[in-house]
């Protein structure tokens, strides 16, 4: 039966209402988890606060298990899901630039919107930076179009790339997540003892 | 002293694992309803395309990039991503009000740097993130989170290299944070 909109079960006129509602839940979860604060977010890179890793990996694992379960029950057709296409080298370079921006800017786009919502001036400046960065990319597009479209691998999944089933990949992520939760919990305890610049509640 | 008083009055955040489960269920619901995941950088792209189209219409129409997102019947702002991102803002606002974090304009920064340094860094970070999100086909929400959760190989690549680079360069920018 699912996905509902691509199957025509919910018609297009509800698109924007659904978009707004899903966005409200998304923004609420991000802000309530502490992502409206850049110093909470960057804690993941310095070991004093791993909230980003905890929320992120938990969400990935829950969604993966949910999708497999829905597929098994016949509630969703996984073949109709949008699989982000892979352009290997451009994506590696893009992700590296984003990683640099993450550490310098302290936000990512979604989290910066929630920072703007509660009155963080640094989030407003970050969002303005996003606008400028995308504008520069758009204007430079003719120069980088070749690179942008290079290394296209199509809508390949992790499972297809490695050659195992989605179930095995999900199991691997569960193990990885549990190990990461335990390891970062130990690191966080040690780092917090030595840090004085940042107070924790 | 000031930070100590602030942290005592600061309301707690929800448990991160609980937040992760909520986010996972929301993402699952999003896939179930729309067939696609969540995103964030797409809205800013729509804003860029709209602005350039308004200011320099001929330039936008002649560009291979902008023209991809321009249609005759409606503005690029009339898109799923723009409404979803408006929702992110509203959801953040609701949570901020509910937990008492909605306050007047302020800049959060490490005691080791000034507000001005923090704002310059935030601007540079935003520019880099915006530029990178286009090459990466999405940001942490659209590519790293939604992509990986839907088993996309590219999504996993973005996640690994985004955080990997973050750890690689974190040492050089530690004064900004700790």
The secondary structure of residue A118, as a DSSP letter, is T
A19 and A61 share a domain? yes
A151 and A175 share a domain? no
Helices (DSSP H) in B70-152: which residue ranges?
80-98, 115-135, 146-149
Alpha-carbon gap, residue A169 to A147, rounded angstroms: 30
Structure tokens at A86: 């892979």
A129 and A91 share a domain? yes
Structure tokens at A128: 């303005």
Higher pLDDT, B106 or B12: B106
The secondary structure of residue A84, as a DSSP letter, is P
A91 and A151 share a domain? yes
- B59's enclosing H/E stretch is helix B57-62
| A82 class by beta-carbon count within 10 Å (0-12 exposed, 13-18 middle, 19+ buried) | middle
Mutate to test the interface with A, among B4, B13, B129 (most CBs of A within 10 A): B129
Q: Identify the pLDDT of residue A198.
A: 67
Of A95, A19, A126, nearest to B134 by C-alpha is A95
Would you tell me which residues 144-163 of chain A have a C-beta closer than 8 angstroms to some C-beta of chain B?
A: 144-145, 148, 153, 155-161
Residue with tokens 């996905």: A3
Alpha-carbon gap, residue B158 to A22, rounded angstroms: 23
Backbone dihedral region for residue B23 (phi beyond 0: left; psi -120 to 50: alpha; all else: beta)? alpha
Alpha-carbon gap, residue B69 to B57, rounded angstroms: 13
Question: What are the angstrom distances between the C-alpha of B26 and each of A79, B23, B123?
Answer: 20, 5, 30
Condensed to tens digits (0 to 9), the pLDDT of residues A125-152 reads 999 999 999 999 999 999 999 999 999 9
Q: How many CB atoms lie within 10 A of CB B159?
A: 20
Question: What are the angstrom distances between the C-alpha of B107 and each of A29, A53, A158, B99, B119?
Answer: 22, 24, 40, 19, 8
Condensed to tens digits (0 to 9), the pLDDT of residues B140-175 reads 999 999 999 999 999 999 999 999 999 999 999 999
A168 and A151 share a domain? no
Alpha-carbon gap, residue B156 to B154, rounded angstroms: 5
Confidence of residue A1 (pLDDT cuts 50, 70, 90): confident
Confidence of residue A12 (pLDDT cuts 50, 70, 90): confident
Alpha-carbon gap, residue A166 to B116, rounded angstroms: 48
Q: Identify the pLDDT of residue A33.
A: 97
Task: Identify all chain A residues contacting B88, using CB atoms and an 8 Å cutoff.
Answer: 23-24, 26-27, 30, 110, 113-114
Mutate to test the interface with B, among A6, A7, A27, A185 (most CBs of B within 10 A): A27
Q: Which residues pair with B146 in a beta bridge?
A: none
A133 and A144 share a domain? yes
Question: Residue A95 pLDDT more than 50?
Answer: yes
Task: Identify all chain A residues contacting B67, using CB atoms and an 8 Å cutoff.
Answer: none
Q: Give ipTM to 2 decimals.
A: 0.96
Q: How many angstroms separate the CA of residue B73 from the nearest CA in chain A?
A: 16
Q: Identify the pLDDT of residue A197.
A: 64
Residues sharing a CB contact under 8 Å with residue B138, sequence separation 6 or more, in sequence order? A84, B39, B41, B42, B144, B146, B147, B155, B158
Contact by Cβ (8 Å): B40, A115 = no
Whether A83 and B150 lie within 8 Å, measured CB to CB: yes
| B77 class by beta-carbon count within 10 Å (0-12 exposed, 13-18 middle, 19+ buried) | middle
A170 and A196 share a domain? yes
What mean pLDDT comes out for the span A50-74? 97
Contact by Cβ (8 Å): A108, B107 = no
Confidence of residue A199 (pLDDT cuts 50, 70, 90): low
Q: Give the count of domains, chain A.
A: 2
A78 and A112 share a domain? no
The secondary structure of residue B104, as a DSSP letter, is S
A130 and A171 share a domain? no
Contact by Cβ (8 Å): B165, B173 = no
Closest-approach residue (CA) in chain A for B90: A24
A60 and A90 share a domain? no
A96 and A76 share a domain? no
Mean pLDDT estimate for chain B: 93
Confidence of residue B2 (pLDDT cuts 50, 70, 90): very low
Q: Which domain holds residue A149?
A: 84-156
What proportions of chain B, in percent to the nearest 5, are helix, strand and coil?
70, 0, 30
Kindly state whether A171 is in contact with chain B, defined as any CB-CB distance less than 8 angstroms.
no
Q: Identify the pLDDT of residue B71.
A: 85
Residues sharing a CB contact under 8 Å with residue A140, sequence separation 6 or more, in sequence order? none
Confidence of residue A11 (pLDDT cuts 50, 70, 90): confident
Q: Identify the pLDDT of residue B11.
A: 53
Q: Identify the pLDDT of residue B5.
A: 45
A22 and A75 share a domain? yes
Task: Provide the residue ranges of all domains of chain B, joining segments of one domain with +.
Answer: 13-103, 106-178
Condensed to tens digits (0 to 9), the pLDDT of residues B99-116 reads 999 999 999 999 899 999
Backbone dihedral region for residue B63 (phi beyond 0: left; psi -120 to 50: alpha; all else: beta)? beta
Q: What proportion of chain A, given as a percentage, has pLDDT over 90? A: 89
């Amino acid at each position: 039966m699912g996905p509902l909109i691509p199957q025509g079960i919910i018609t297009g006129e509800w698109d924007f209402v659904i978009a707004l509602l899903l966005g409200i839940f998304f923004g609420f979860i991000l802000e309530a988890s502490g992502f409206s604060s850049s110093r909470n977010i960057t804690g993941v890179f310095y070991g004093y606060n791993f909230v980003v890793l905890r929320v992120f990996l938990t969400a990935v694992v829950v969604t993966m298990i949910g999708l497999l379960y829905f597929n098994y029950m016949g509630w969703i057709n996984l073949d109709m899901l949008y699989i982000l296409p892979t352009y290997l080298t451009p994506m590696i370079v893009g992700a590296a630039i984003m990683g640099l921006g993450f550490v310098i800017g302290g936000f990512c786009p979604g989290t910066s919107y929630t920072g703007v919502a509660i009155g963080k001036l640094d989030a407003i400046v970050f969002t303005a930076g996003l606008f400028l960065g995308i504008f520069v990319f758009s204007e430079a597009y003719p120069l980088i179009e070749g690179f942008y479209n290079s290394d296209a691998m199509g809508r390949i999944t992790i499972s297809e790339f490695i050659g195992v089933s989605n179930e095995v990949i999900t199991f691997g992520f569960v193990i990885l997540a549990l190990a990461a939760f335990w390891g970062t919990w130990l690191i966080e305890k040690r780092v917090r003892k030595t840090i004085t610049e940042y107070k924790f509640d | 002293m000031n930070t100590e008083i602030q942290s005592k009055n600061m309301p707690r955040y929800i448990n991160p694992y609980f937040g992760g489960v909520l986010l996972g269920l929301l993402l699952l619901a999003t896939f179930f309803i729309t067939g696609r995941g969540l995103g964030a950088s797409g809205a800013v792209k729509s804003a860029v395309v709209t602005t350039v189209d308004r200011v320099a219409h001929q330039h936008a129409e002649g560009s291979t990039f902008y023209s991809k997102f321009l249609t005759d019947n409606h503005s690029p702002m009339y898109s799923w991503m723009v409404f979803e991102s408006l929702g992110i803002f509203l959801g953040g606002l609701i949570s901020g009000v509910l937990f008492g974090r909605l306050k007047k304009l302020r800049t959060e920064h490490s005691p080791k740097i000034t507000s001005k340094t923090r704002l310059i860094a935030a601007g540079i970070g935003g520019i880099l993130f915006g530029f990178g999100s286009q090459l990466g086909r999405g940001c942490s929400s659209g590519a790293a989170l939604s992509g990986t959760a839907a088993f996309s190989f590219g999504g996993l690549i973005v996640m690994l290299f985004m955080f990997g680079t973050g750890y690689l360069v974190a040492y050089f920018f530690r004064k900004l944070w700790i």
